[in-house]
Protein backbone atom coordinates (compact mmCIF):
# COMPACT_ATOMS: atom_id res chain seq x y z
CA UNK A 1 0.00 0.00 0.00
CA UNK A 2 1.32 3.46 -0.92
CA UNK A 3 1.02 6.45 1.34
CA UNK A 4 -1.02 9.43 0.19
CA UNK A 5 -0.50 13.00 1.35
CA UNK A 6 -3.31 15.52 1.03
CA UNK A 7 -1.76 18.95 0.60
CA UNK A 8 -4.91 21.01 0.19
CA UNK A 9 -8.58 21.08 -0.65
CA UNK A 10 -10.56 23.11 -3.12
CA UNK A 11 -14.04 23.16 -4.57
CA UNK A 12 -15.71 25.04 -7.40
CA UNK A 13 -19.19 23.54 -7.69
CA UNK A 14 -22.79 24.57 -8.34
CA UNK A 15 -23.43 24.50 -4.57
CA UNK A 16 -20.31 26.27 -3.37
CA UNK A 17 -17.15 28.03 -4.45
CA UNK A 18 -15.18 26.99 -1.36
CA UNK A 19 -14.83 23.71 0.49
CA UNK A 20 -16.69 25.15 3.48
CA UNK A 21 -19.59 26.51 1.41
CA UNK A 22 -19.81 23.29 -0.63
CA UNK A 23 -19.86 21.08 2.47
CA UNK A 24 -22.43 23.24 4.29
CA UNK A 25 -24.77 23.23 1.28
CA UNK A 26 -24.25 19.50 0.70
CA UNK A 27 -25.17 18.71 4.31
CA UNK A 28 -28.16 21.09 4.13
CA UNK A 29 -29.44 19.36 0.97
CA UNK A 30 -29.06 22.41 -1.27
CA UNK A 31 -29.49 21.64 -4.98
CA UNK A 32 -27.25 23.28 -7.55
CA UNK A 33 -29.59 22.38 -10.41
CA UNK A 34 -31.86 24.99 -11.95
CA UNK A 35 -32.88 26.78 -15.15
CA UNK A 36 -30.04 27.54 -17.57
CA UNK A 37 -29.02 31.20 -17.31
CA UNK A 38 -25.60 31.38 -19.02
CA UNK A 39 -27.05 31.12 -22.53
CA UNK A 40 -30.37 30.81 -24.34
CA UNK A 41 -31.24 27.09 -24.29
CA UNK A 42 -33.87 27.45 -27.04
CA UNK A 43 -33.26 24.72 -29.57
CA UNK A 44 -31.67 22.37 -27.04
CA UNK A 45 -33.50 19.39 -25.56
CA UNK A 46 -32.79 20.50 -21.97
CA UNK A 47 -33.57 23.64 -20.00
CA UNK A 48 -31.91 22.83 -16.68
CA UNK A 49 -28.26 22.48 -15.64
CA UNK A 50 -25.93 22.62 -12.66
CA UNK A 51 -24.20 25.93 -13.45
CA UNK A 52 -21.40 27.31 -11.30
CA UNK A 53 -22.57 30.83 -10.46
CA UNK A 54 -20.46 33.62 -9.05
CA UNK A 55 -17.13 32.14 -10.17
CA UNK A 56 -14.69 34.50 -11.87
CA UNK A 57 -11.61 32.63 -13.15
CA UNK A 58 -9.68 35.91 -13.23
CA UNK A 59 -9.61 35.73 -9.43
CA UNK A 60 -7.42 32.63 -9.76
CA UNK A 61 -5.46 33.01 -13.01
CA UNK A 62 -4.25 35.70 -15.35
CA UNK A 63 -6.51 37.15 -18.06
CA UNK A 64 -4.97 35.20 -20.97
CA UNK A 65 -5.26 31.85 -19.20
CA UNK A 66 -8.83 32.63 -18.12
CA UNK A 67 -9.77 33.56 -21.69
CA UNK A 68 -8.34 30.28 -23.04
CA UNK A 69 -10.24 28.21 -20.47
CA UNK A 70 -13.65 26.92 -21.47
CA UNK A 71 -16.49 27.19 -18.93
CA UNK A 72 -17.35 23.51 -19.28
pLDDT tens sequence across 23-72: 999 999 999 999 999 999 999 999 999 999 998 888 888 888 877 776 65
Neighbours of 11 (CB within 10 A): 14
Mean pLDDT score of the chain, rounded to an integer? Answer: 91
Closest CA to 9 of 31, 1, 21: 21
Report the alpha-carbon angle 59-28-56, nearest 5: 10
Predicted confidence at residue 63, as pLDDT, reads 80
> Which of helix, strand or coil describes residue 58?
helix
pLDDT tens sequence across 19-37: 999 999 999 999 999 999 9
- Buried b vs exposed e over 32-47: b needs ≥16 C-beta within 10 Å? beeeeeeeeeeeeeee
Amino acid sequence: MQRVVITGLGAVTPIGLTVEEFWRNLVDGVSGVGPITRFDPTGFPVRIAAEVKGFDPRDYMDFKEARRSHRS
